[in-house]
C-alpha cells in the first residue's frame, strides 16, 4: 500500500500536490491501494476545513484513494506502542529540561563538536522535572538507505542519537506517529518531499524497534524523496510566500486541474509527450526516472500548457469548464487566440456580454457620437448572416467608413477596442446580436 499523508495545516502547496499525484500514479501502475492519511496530530497547527479542501483538490485532479485515515484516530495505538517500546528498553524516559539540553548544545558549540544526546543524562533532572519525554534509543552504527530518486543516502552514527517519540504532554511526535502508521498499514512505498530525508533514519529506527517488540516482520519499503520546487525569481525554495505555490490560487486564476497535474507530473521528468493527462501518465510514468535535481516553477510554462489543454477541448467541454451557455462556447474558442486561462476567457466574454457605458468610457474622444450613429443604424437592420453583407449595409446606413466605422463596430460588438478579427467572431454573434447591443448601449448610446 502507498500513502499520501498531508497535514491539514494550510493551503495545499504545489509540492504536496506533486507528491499526491506521483503516489497515485505509482499506486495505479503497481495495482496497489493508496491511502489518504490526514496527519492531524499537531492540534495547534490544524486548521478546520483543510481536510475537506484537500479532498476537493484531489478529486478535481482525478486522484482517488482506497482508504481514508485520520491519524488522530490512531493516537491510542501510538501511545500503546510507545509503552511497549519502554517496556522492552527500546525507549526510555528522559527528564532533561530544555534549559539543560540548551547548555549541553552550547558546550558542544564551544568545543566545536557536533551535539549528540547522551543517554546517561536521562534521569539527571528526575527530581526537578516530573514530566519526562519518551526517547527511542539511538543507533549504535551508521545507517544507509537507498532512495529511488536520490540514490544511496548515508547517516553517521553521530547524527543518530536518541530522539523524542512522545512529548512531555503525551503527544506522539510526527516521526513516531508517521512510522507507527507506516508500519501498521504495511506501507511499501514512501514517496514524499525531500524535506523529509532527515526524518527517514529516525522512522527506520522506529520501525525496526517496533518489529522487534511486536515480533512482526517489517514490510520492505521503497523510499523516493522528490526534490523541492524552486521559484522562478531567485531560484530559492518555492515557499508559501509565492501565491503560485498554492494549488487553490492556481485554480482561482483559471488554470485547469489537468494542466496543473500535467505540469507537476512532468517536473524533472522527460515525459514522452508534452501535453498529457493523469490517465496518460499511468501508461508510462516510472518513478526512478524522476530527476534528482530541483525543478524551477514557471508560471509562463503553466500558461502554455493550460492554453494547449484549453485548445484541445471540444465546444461542449469548453462550455462546461467555463460554466457558460453552449451558444457562447464558439466565441470562447476564438478568444483562445489571445487567452490562456479561464479567467482571461471570462473577461473577454464578460466585456462582450455586460453593460458598457460607452459615453463614459470614451469620454473626450469624439467617439460617442459615431457609436451612437452606428448603434442607431444597427438597430434598424434585420439580422444578416454574412459578415460582408452586414458590413456593407451598416456602412451605408451609418455613413461611417474606415476607422470611424470599424472601431465603433468592434466596441459595440465586443466591448473592447482590440482583439480577434470581427469577421471570425461575427457568425457566432448573429444569434446573440440583439442581446449584445442592448448591453452595450443600455448606459447611453
Ligand atoms: N504530514 C507530512 C507532511 O505533510 C507527511 C510527510 C510524509 O509523507 O511522511 O509533510
Return d(Cα 245, Cα 101) in angstroms, integer: 37
Contacting residues for 241 by C-beta, under 8 A, at least 6 apart: none
Among 2, 18, 23, 39, the mutation site with the greatest number of ligand 1 atoms within 8 A of its Cβ is 39
Return d(Cα 409, Cα 292) in angstroms, integer: 56
Q: What's the 72 CA to ligand 1 centre distance in angstroms?
A: 14
Return d(Cα 258, Cα 264) in angstroms, integer: 10
Write down which residue in 307, 331, 346 finishes a domain: 307
Give the pLDDT confidence of 326-345 residue by residue, as tens digits: 999 999 999 999 999 999 99
Same domain, yes or no: 75 and 211: yes
The answer to whether residue 404 is domain-embedded is yes
Same domain, yes or no: 75 and 216: yes
Q: Is 5 in the pocket of ligand 1 (CB under 6 A)?
A: yes
The answer to whether residue 327 is domain-embedded is no
Residue with cell 438597430: 379
Residue whose CA is closest, atom 10 of ligand 1?
Answer: 6
Q: Is 135 in the pocket of ligand 1 (CB under 6 A)?
A: no
Same domain, yes or no: 193 and 236: no
Same domain, yes or no: 102 and 220: yes
Give the pLDDT confidence of 9-35 residue by residue, as tens digits: 999 999 999 999 999 999 999 999 999
Same domain, yes or no: 252 and 210: no
The DSSP secondary-structure symbol of 120 reads G
> What average pLDDT does range 77-100 have in this prediction?
98
Return d(Cα 445, Cα 437) in angstroms, integer: 10
Q: Please check whether residue 46 is in contact with residue 40, taking contact to mean a CB–CB distance below 8 angstroms.
A: yes
The candidate with the shortest Cα–Cα distance to 162, out of 77, 85, 81, 218, is: 85
Q: What's the 179 CA to ligand 1 centre distance in angstroms?
A: 11
Rounded to two decimals, the pTM is 0.93
- Could you tell me which residues are annotated as the binding site for ATP? 240
Q: What's the 415 CA to ligand 1 centre distance in angstroms?
A: 49
Element housing 345 (H / E): helix 342-353
**Structural domain tally of the chain?**
3
Structural domain that includes position 11:
2-65+228-307
Same domain, yes or no: 35 and 182: no
The answer to whether residue 415 is domain-embedded is yes
Q: How many residues does the chain have?
A: 445
Same domain, yes or no: 88 and 200: yes
pLDDT more than 90, % of the chain = 84
Same domain, yes or no: 135 and 148: yes
Give the pLDDT confidence of 248-303 residue by residue, as tens digits: 999 999 999 999 999 999 999 999 999 999 999 999 999 999 999 999 999 999 99
Cell output for 157: 552514527
Write down which residue in 226, 252, 277 finishes a domain: 226
Ligand 1 atom showing the smallest separation from residue 39 Cα: 1
More confidently predicted of 352 and 317: 317
Instruction: Provide the pLDDT confidence category of residue 357 given band limits of 50, 70 and 90.
Output: confident
> How confident is the model at residue 307, as a pLDDT?
98
Q: Please check whether residue 38 is in contact with residue 223, taking contact to mean a CB–CB distance below 8 angstroms.
A: no
Q: Is 196 in the pocket of ligand 1 (CB under 6 A)?
A: yes
The answer to whether residue 396 is domain-embedded is yes
Ligand 1 atom showing the smallest separation from residue 178 Cα: 9
Q: What's the 330 CA to ligand 1 centre distance in angstroms?
A: 44
Instruction: Provide the pLDDT confidence category of residue 445 given band limits of 50, 70 and 90.
Output: low
Q: Please check whether residue 246 is in contact with residue 10, taking contact to mean a CB–CB distance below 8 angstroms.
A: no
Element housing 93 (H / E): strand 91-94
Does the pLDDT of residue 237 top 80, yes or no?
yes
Instruction: Provide the pLDDT confidence category of residue 441 given band limits of 50, 70 and 90.
Output: low
Does the pLDDT of residue 56 top 70, yes or no?
yes
Same domain, yes or no: 93 and 29: no
> How confident is the model at residue 395, as a pLDDT?
96
The answer to whether residue 121 is domain-embedded is yes
Which CATH number is 22's domain given? 3.40.50.620
The DSSP secondary-structure symbol of 183 reads H
Give the pLDDT confidence of 141-157 residue by residue, as tens digits: 999 999 999 999 999 99
The answer to whether residue 197 is domain-embedded is yes
Computed on alpha carbons and rounded to an integer, the radius of gyration of the chain in Å comes to 31
Q: Is 181 in the pocket of ligand 1 (CB under 6 A)?
A: no
Cell output for 352: 462582450
- Can you point out the beta strands (E) in 250-393? 295-296
Q: What's the 192 CA to ligand 1 centre distance in angstroms?
A: 7
Q: Please check whether residue 304 is in contact with residue 165, taking contact to mean a CB–CB distance below 8 angstroms.
A: no
Return d(Cα 422, Cα 54) in angstroms, integer: 43
Give the pLDDT confidence of 116-135 residue by residue, as tens digits: 999 999 999 999 999 999 99
Q: Please check whether residue 36 is in contact with residue 61, taking contact to mean a CB–CB distance below 8 angstroms.
A: no
Return d(Cα 108, Cα 116) in angstroms, integer: 8
Does the pLDDT of residue 379 top 90, yes or no?
no
> What average pLDDT does range 208-221 have in this prediction?
97
Same domain, yes or no: 94 and 208: yes
Same domain, yes or no: 152 and 280: no
Ligand 1 atom showing the smallest separation from residue 16 Cα: 4
The answer to whether residue 325 is domain-embedded is no
Question: Which pairing describes strands 163-166 and 295-296: parallel, antiparallel, or unpaired?
Answer: unpaired
Does the pLDDT of residue 365 top 90, yes or no?
no
> How confident is the model at residue 203, as a pLDDT?
98
Q: Is 225 in the pocket of ligand 1 (CB under 6 A)?
A: no
Write down which residue in 204, 226, 248 finishes a domain: 226
Bridge partners of 229, per DSSP, are: 295
Does the pLDDT of residue 438 top 80, yes or no?
no
Return d(Cα 421, Cα 381) in angstroms, integer: 22
Same domain, yes or no: 123 and 215: yes
Q: Is 39 in the pocket of ligand 1 (CB under 6 A)?
A: yes
Distance linking the first and last C-alpha atoms of the chain? 66
**C-alpha distance from residue 231 to each of 48, 147, 296 (Å):** 29, 25, 6
Q: Please check whether residue 46 is in contact with residue 39, taking contact to mean a CB–CB distance below 8 angstroms.
A: no
Q: What's the 6 CA to ligand 1 centre distance in angstroms?
A: 5
Residue whose CA is closest, atom 6 of ligand 1?
Answer: 5
Q: Please check whether residue 177 is in contact with residue 78, taking contact to mean a CB–CB distance below 8 angstroms.
A: yes
Q: Is 7 in the pocket of ligand 1 (CB under 6 A)?
A: yes
Give the rounded distance of the alpha carbon of 377 from its chain centre. Answer: 52
Ligand 1 atom showing the smallest separation from residue 19 Cα: 8
The answer to whether residue 342 is domain-embedded is no
Amino acid at each position: 500500500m502507498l500513502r499520501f499523508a498531508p497535514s491539514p495545516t494550510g493551503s495545499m502547496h504545489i509540492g504536496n500536490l506533486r507528491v499526491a499525484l506521483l503516489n497515485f500514479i505509482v499506486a495505479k501502475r503497481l495495482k496497489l491501494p493508496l491511502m489518504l492519511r490526514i496527519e492531524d496530530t499537531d492540534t495547534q497547527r490544524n486548521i478546520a476545513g483543510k481536510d475537506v479542501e484537500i479532498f476537493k483538490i484531489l478529486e478535481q485532479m482525478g486522484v482517488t484513494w482506497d482508504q481514508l485515515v485520520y491519524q488522530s484516530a490512531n493516537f491510542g495505538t501510538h501511545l500503546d506502542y510507545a509503552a511497549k517500546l519502554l517496556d522492552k528498553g527500546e525507549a526510555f524516559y528522559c527528564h532533561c529540561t530544555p534549559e539543560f539540553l540548551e547548555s549541553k548544545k552550547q558546550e558542544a558549540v564551544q568545543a566545536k563538536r557536533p551535539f549528540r544526546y547522551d543517554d546517561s543524562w536521562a534521569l539527571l533532572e528526575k527530581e526537578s522535572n516530573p514530566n519526562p519525554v519518551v526517547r527511542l534509543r539511538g543507533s549504535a552504527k551508521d545507517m544507509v538507505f537507498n532512495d529511488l530518486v536520490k540514490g544511496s543516502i548515508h547517516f553517521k552514527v553521530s547524527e543518530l542519537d536518541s530522539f523524542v517519540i512522545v512529548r512531555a504532554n503525551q503527544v506522539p511526535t510526527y516521526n513516531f506517529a508517521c512510522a507507527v502508521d507506516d508500519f501498521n498499514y504495511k506501507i511499501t512505498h514512501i514517496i514524499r518531499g525531500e524535506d523529509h530525508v532527515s526524518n527517514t533514519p529516525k522512522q527506520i529506527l522506529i520501525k525496526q524497534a517496533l518489529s522487534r517488540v511486536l515480533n512482526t516482520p517489517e514490510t520492505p519499503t521503497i523510499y523516493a524523496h522528490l526534490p523541492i520546487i524552486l521559484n522562478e525569481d531567485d531560484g530559492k525554495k518555492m515557499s508559501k510566500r509565492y501565491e503560485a505555490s498554492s494549488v487553490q490560487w492556481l485554480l482561482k486564476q483559471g488554470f485547469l486541474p489537468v494542466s496543473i497535474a500535467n505540469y507537476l507530473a512532468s517536473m524533472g521528468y522527460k515525459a514522452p509527450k508534452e501535453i498529457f493527462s493523469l490517465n496518460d501518465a499511468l501508461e508510462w510514468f516510472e518513478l526512478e526516472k524522476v530527476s534528482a535535481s530541483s525543478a524551477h516553477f514557471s508560471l509562463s510554462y503553466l500558461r502554455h500548457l493550460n492554453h494547449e489543454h484549453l485548445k484541445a477541448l471540444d465546444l461542449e467541454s469548453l462550455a462546461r469548464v467555463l460554466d457558460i451557455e453552449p451558444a457562447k462556447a464558439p466565441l470562447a474558442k476564438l478568444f483562445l487566440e489571445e487567452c490562456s486561462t479561464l479567467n482571461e476567457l471570462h473577461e473577454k466574454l464578460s466585456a462582450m456580454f455586460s453593460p458598457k457605458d460607452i459615453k463614459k468610457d470614451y469620454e473626450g474622444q469624439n467617439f460617442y457620437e459615431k457609436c451612437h450613429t452606428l448603434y442607431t443604424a444597427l438597430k434598424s437592420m434585420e439580422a444578416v448572416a454574412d459578415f460582408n453583407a452586414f458590413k456593407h449595409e451598416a456602412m451605408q446606413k451609418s455613413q461611417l467608413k474606415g476607422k470611424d466605422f470599424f472601431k465603433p463596430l468592434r466596441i459595440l460588438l465586443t466591448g473592447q477596442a482590440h482583439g480577434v478579427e470581427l469577421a471570425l467572431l461575427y457568425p457566432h454573434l448573429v444569434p446573440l446580436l440583439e442581446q449584445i447591443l442592448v448591453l452595450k448601449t443600455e448606459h447611453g448610446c
